[in-house]
Amino acid sequence: MTEFIQQLLNALSLGAIYALIALGYTMVYGVLRFINFAHSDVFMVGAVTGCFLGKYLPAGTWWGGLSCLLGAMIVCALLGMLIERLAYRPLRASPRLNVLITAIGVSLLLEYTFQNEHVFGAAPRAFPQIFPEVVWQVRGLTLSSNQLLVIGVALVLMVALQFIVFRTRIGTAMRAVSLNPRAAQLVGINRDVVVAFTFALGSALAGAGGILYALNYQSVEPLMGVMPGLKAFVAAVLGGIGNIPGAALGGLLIGTIETFVGGSQLSTYKDAIAFALLILILVFRPAGLLGRRTIEKV
């Protein structure tokens, strides 16, 4: 039983990170109908920024940790807007496949830039302990402050996102663009502003995810975003792409399956089993768990 609860805790902290990244994929898909493959590298940039800021902030303090988190979110938000402005906006009128290929290009550009010795280097580096670290032992259970922090911060950010999307003007505009871009423009919504804001929001969440991931696993390297990014993308599809609560649910589900398979004798098949289950779910619910089947009107 103790082992089960411990694994559940591991699953929640991993799933929370996948959920944070998945939100970025789903939001961009919601407004632009394409997959931003550079998103997983924005996640990596978040962790790298934290690694860099950690050197200048006092380690192991709450305000130091929170300012590090905020710093990484701001850097990633700016990077996300920059990528959108330079790489995606000029292609908005072209076929979606072109934008998709550009996204892969941006992803590789970021990965290889950061592998350069003068930027960051390919070798993994230790991530500083930016938050105070405490470990509690409760009836054989080990609760680490890092894991609880990951779950807590992810939860707060998801609630904040829900508030922005459903309770603010810009959120309403986002939903309007997602529902019908042309009609949204007709009622006076500036689509460029909404798209830029969506990228900023999604990238900030990825940046926070990067910090939390690095905090949890303590090492940072330029290709660290590839696998979590892929799984988060899958989580977004699983939950129903374009659907925000769906992305969060998908992330938690993938994290849970992966952790429980990882703790069994089949540990090396954990990714294979997680993805096989995903295919099964999509066979029975093609639009994802919470996704609505849309009918193209002619």
Partner 1 sequence: MSFSLRTFARLALLPVISASLFAADVASIKVGEIASLTGKEAAFGQSSHKGTLLAVEELNAAGGVLGRPIDLVTEDNQSKAGESATAARKLISRDRVTALLGEVASSRSLEIAPIAQSSKIPMISPASTNPKVTAIGNYVFRVCFIDPYQGTVMAKFAKSELHLKKVAVLTSVSSAYSVGLAKYFKERFTADGGDIAIEQKYSEGDKDFRSQLTAIKAAGVEGVFVPGYYSEAALIAKQARELGLTVPLFGGDGWEAPQLLEIGGAAMEGNYYSTHYSPEDNAPAVQGFVKRFKARFGGETPDAMAALGYDSAVFLADGIKRAGVTDPAAVRDALAATKDFAGVTGHTEIDANRNATKAAVIVTIKDGRFKFFQSVAP
**C-beta separation of 190 from 174 below 8 A:** no
Q: Beta strand pairing status for 219-220 and 125-126?
A: antiparallel
Of 227, 276, 286, 292, which lies in the binding site for partner 1, with binding defined by CB under 8 A?
Answer: 227
Q: How far apart are CA 128 and CA 151, in angstroms?
A: 19
How do 141-144 and 219-220 pair as beta strands?
Answer: unpaired
257 neighbors 268 (Cβ within 8 angstroms): no
In this structure, the chain runs to a length of 298
Q: Kindly indicate which of the ranges 47-55, 94-102, 139-147, 162-170 contains the residues binding partner 1, using the contact rule CB under 8 A.
A: 139-147
Q: Per rule CB under 8 A, is residue 185 in the interface with partner 1?
A: no
CB of 210 to partner 1, least distance (A): 12
Paired tokens of 218: 């303590």
- H-state helical runs in the chain: 2-32, 39-54, 62-83, 96-115, 145-167, 169-179, 181-186, 191-217, 226-239, 244-262, 270-284
Of 7-15, 28-36, 65-73, 285-293, which part binds partner 1 (CB under 8 A)? 7-15
Question: Using the rule CB under 8 A, which residue among 69, 259, 278, 291 binds partner 1?
Answer: 259
Q: Which two tokens stand for residue 134?
A: 């405490």
First to last CA, the chain: 55
Q: Which two structure tokens, joined as six digits, stand for 69?
A: 């988190």
Q: Does 122 bind partner 1 (CB under 8 A)?
A: yes
- 252, two tokens: 């938690």
Q: Which C-beta is closer to partner 1: that of 148 or that of 282? A: 148
- Whole-angstrom distance, CA of residue 111 vs CA of residue 91: 22
Binder among 58, 105, 121, 286 for partner 1 (CB under 8 A)? 121
Considering the rule CB under 8 A, would residue 152 count as an interface residue with partner 1? no
Q: State which residue, 84 or 221, has the beta carbon closest to partner 1.
A: 221
Which CB atom, from 197 or from 260, has the smaller least distance to partner 1? 260
For residue 152, what are its two tokens?
């807590």
Among 26, 36, 40, 146, binds partner 1 (CB under 8 A): 146
124 or 245: whose CB is closer to partner 1?
124
Q: What is the DSSP letter of 264?
A: S
Stretch that binds partner 1, among 3-11, 27-35, 94-102, 170-178 (CB under 8 A): 3-11
- Type of residue found at 185: Q
Residues near partner 1 (CB under 8 A), total: 38
Whole-number Å distance between alpha carbons of 222 and 120: 8
Binding characters for partner 1, 263-292, by CB under 8 A (x = yes): xx--xx-x----------------------
CB nearer to partner 1: pick between 7 and 67: 7
Measured from the Cβ of residue 70, the count of other Cβ atoms closer than 10 Å reads 15
Q: Does 126 bind partner 1 (CB under 8 A)?
A: yes
**294 forms part of the interface with partner 1 (CB under 8 A):** no
Q: Which residue in 52, 109, 219, 275 binds partner 1 (CB under 8 A)?
A: 219
Which residues form the interface with partner 1 (CB under 8 A)?
A: 2-3, 6-7, 10-11, 14, 115, 117, 121-126, 135, 137, 142, 144, 146, 213, 216-219, 221, 224, 227, 258-264, 267-268, 270
